């Protein structure tokens, strides 16, 4: 068996926040921000898993095709866009027949095997099939980028929860993230937070 | 004038969280986590600044030598170690006569010019003198790493604030960060959070 080095492609131990791309049986591409869960056992063997939420297009596609791609990126805007919108066709290219995002730094193709069914999600074991590193870089930690990711997680959860009374506290939390972005972010983080605030306020109506 | 590409070395627009290394006039090295503030004007010209807090060894050294090095890294443990402890000599090497950290991905040497004096900090304009990229990489976003950085910022502020009544809320916040590390972090993030919790509890006595 050929071993693929996912660590070099950015997928380390813990949860790697990536953009997962899939296609339907009919060939329609989809992209969504999802965490790849990597555990390392005592012998150093790595296991990759993913939880896909019921009702999501990613889950529907993975059930149809048994395949997904992890796109590694630190672009704040991509996380917000794929959390809320459908990306247009020009964002995508193909790698081993699977849609992937052109501007991301690495691609990993996984096949999936259903291992657990829960009320809100299905859990899959992932087996890496192909890896491509498009670009390596050096990037200092930016707290603005971190705040966009946390705010996206928050906004995604809010979309799932529909109770209005739950909205007051999250709104304050979003303001705290927005303040960190205003202080620490670059232009991509500011753009992402602007989009997120718009979605959030619109969604609250 | 030769232009140095700090973007390629990881220092983008906004605040780049790096480890700043300096030496005293007597040659003693020091390391501390500090944000390099990069602003881009309408013509695309970049300005780098740093705020150094009164009472810090970094400030004392910069006043003595007029020079500092930014070490770019995503190692959670390094941020916690340098926030609280003195690093032993084997962590350091030299680049253009300035102490830098061996294991970091890029080094930037800056000369400094004092531009503002405030009650709690002095602000310096930074001029890049030399850049070295040691290693490029691909790294997916990890919310555990982000949580360690936020928790380090929190713990550093607590050390400055001495009022005991202010400690209850931060302690809850630290627990929230610790929960994200436990869920999303890899072993470096778990190690860093373990160190941080120990420092925090010790410091609270």
Write the DSSP symbol of residue A131: E
Looking at A112-116, A162-166, B39-43, which range is the least confident one? Answer: A162-166
**Structure tokens that stand for B55 in this block:** 């009472």
pLDDT value at residue A163: 56
Select the residue from A14, A110, A135 to test the B interface by mutation, using most B Cβ atoms within 10 A: A14
B170, B164 contact by CB (below 8 A): no
Residue B164 has pLDDT above 60, yes or no: no
Tell me the chain B residues in contact with residue A71 when contact means C-beta distances shorter than 8 Å: none
Binary contact (A141, B16; C-beta < 8 A): yes
**Residue B193, burial from CB neighbour count under 10 angstroms (0-12, 13-18, 19+):** buried
Residue B203 has pLDDT above 60, yes or no: no
Angle, vertex CA B14, rays to CA B13 and CA B20, nearest 5: 100
pLDDT value at residue A162: 57
pLDDT value at residue A167: 65
pLDDT value at residue A124: 98
pLDDT value at residue B205: 41
In the predicted model, what is the mean pLDDT of chain B? Answer: 92
Binary contact (A184, B146; C-beta < 8 A): no
CA A39 to chain B, closest CA, distance in angstroms equals 9
CA B150 to chain A, closest CA, distance in angstroms equals 8
Res. A14 pLDDT band, cuts 50 70 90: very high
Task: Report yes or no for ipTM above 0.85.
Answer: yes
Give me the percent of chain A exceeding a pLDDT of 90: 82
Residue A205 has pLDDT above 50, yes or no: no
Residue A1 has pLDDT above 50, yes or no: no
pTM value > 0.90: yes
Looking at A153-162, A183-192, B46-55, B90-99, which range is the least confident one? Answer: A153-162
Nearest CA in chain A to B135: A138
In the predicted model, what is the mean pLDDT of chain A? Answer: 92
**pLDDT tens digits, A75-91:** 999 999 999 999 999 99
Res. A160 pLDDT band, cuts 50 70 90: low
Binary contact (B138, A13; C-beta < 8 A): no
Residue B1 has pLDDT above 70, yes or no: no
CA A172 to chain B, closest CA, distance in angstroms equals 15
Q: Chain A neighbours among B 26-55 (CB < 8 Å)?
A: 35-36, 38, 40
**Residue B153, burial from CB neighbour count under 10 angstroms (0-12, 13-18, 19+):** middle
Binary contact (B143, A36; C-beta < 8 A): no
pLDDT value at residue A30: 98
Own/partner pairs, B119-124, CB within 8 angstroms, 24+ separation? B119/B54, B120/B53, B120/B54, B121/B51, B121/B52, B121/B53, B121/B54, B121/B59, B122/B51, B122/B52, B122/B54, B122/B59, B123/B49, B123/B50, B123/B51, B123/B52, B124/B49, B124/B50, B124/B51, B124/B52, B124/B62
Binary contact (B16, A150; C-beta < 8 A): no
Out of A136, A140, A153, closest to residue B138 by CB: A136
Residue A165 has pLDDT above 60, yes or no: no
**pLDDT tens digits, A53-65:** 999 999 999 999 9
Write the DSSP symbol of residue A32: E
Looking at B43-52, B153-162, B196-205, which range is the least confident one? Answer: B196-205
Give me the percent of chain B exceeding a pLDDT of 90: 82
Residue A12 has pLDDT above 90, yes or no: yes
CA pair distance A33, A172, nearest whole angstrom = 23
Nearest CA in chain A to B188: A13
Binary contact (A133, B136; C-beta < 8 A): no
Res. B195 pLDDT band, cuts 50 70 90: very high
**pLDDT tens digits, A89-114:** 999 999 999 999 999 999 999 999 99
Residue A21 has pLDDT above 70, yes or no: yes
Res. B143 pLDDT band, cuts 50 70 90: very high
CA pair distance B99, B86, nearest whole angstrom = 13
Res. A199 pLDDT band, cuts 50 70 90: confident
């Amino acid at each position: 068996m050929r071993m693929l080095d996912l660590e070099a492609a950015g997928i380390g131990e813990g949860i790697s926040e990536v953009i997962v791309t899939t296609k339907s049986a009919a060939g329609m591409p989809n992209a969504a921000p999802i965490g790849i869960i990597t555990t390392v056992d005592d012998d150093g063997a790595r296991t990759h898993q993913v939880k896909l939420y019921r009702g999501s297009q990613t889950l529907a596609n993975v059930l149809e095709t048994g395949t997904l791609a992890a796109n590694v990126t630190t672009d704040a805007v991509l996380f917000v866009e794929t959390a809320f919108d459908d990306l247009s066709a020009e964002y995508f290219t193909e790698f081993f027949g699977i849609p992937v995002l052109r501007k991301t730094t690495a691609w990993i193709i996984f096949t999936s095997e259903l291992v657990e069914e829960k009320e809100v999600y299905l859990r899959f074991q992932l087996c890496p099939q192909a890896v491509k590193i498009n670009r390596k870089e050096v990037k200092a930690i930016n707290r603005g980028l971190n705040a966009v990711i946390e705010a996206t997680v928050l906004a995604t959860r809010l979309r799932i929860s529909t109770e209005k009374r739950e909205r007051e506290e999250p709104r304050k939390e979003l303001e705290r993230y927005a303040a960190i972005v205003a202080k620490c972010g670059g232009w991509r983080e500011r753009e992402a937070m602007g989009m997120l605030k718009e979605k959030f306020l619109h969604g609250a109506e």
